[in-house]
Amino acid sequence: MTAFELKTLLIHRIAEINDVSFLRALKTILDTKAESGVIQLTHDQLTDIIESKKEFEEGRFVENSVLDKQVRQWLSAK
């Protein structure tokens, strides 16, 4: 089946669907595939990323393994 034939088949099948939830889910899938790969960030998200990078460069972070150990200790103390 060629890409054109498959698209035509899908268009006809989608036209027969009346389930709004399913159609929304399908739209989400299609929107995800159609995205250019560029993520649009909000001003707050961009600010958070810049601040996080600054904190990392200043050494203000905890290694994941250390944090995991602390959490295990905290959980076992209860």
- Identify whether residues 48 and 69 lie together within a single domain: yes
My answer on whether 30 and 47 are in the same domain is no
Are residues 47 and 29 part of one domain?
no
The answer to whether residues 30 and 52 belong to one domain is no
Coil vs helix vs strand at 62: coil
Cβ atoms of 14 and 7 closer than 8 Å: no
Structural domains of the chain, count:
2
Instruction: Give the structural domain span for 51.
Output: 43-76
pLDDT tens string for the chain (78 positions)? 899 999 999 999 999 999 999 999 999 888 877 766 677 889 999 999 999 999 999 999 999 999 999 999 999 986
**Distance between first and last Cα of the chain:** 61
Whether residues 47 and 72 share a domain: the answer is: yes
DSSP code per residue over 4-28: HHHHHHHHHHHHT---HHHHHHHHH
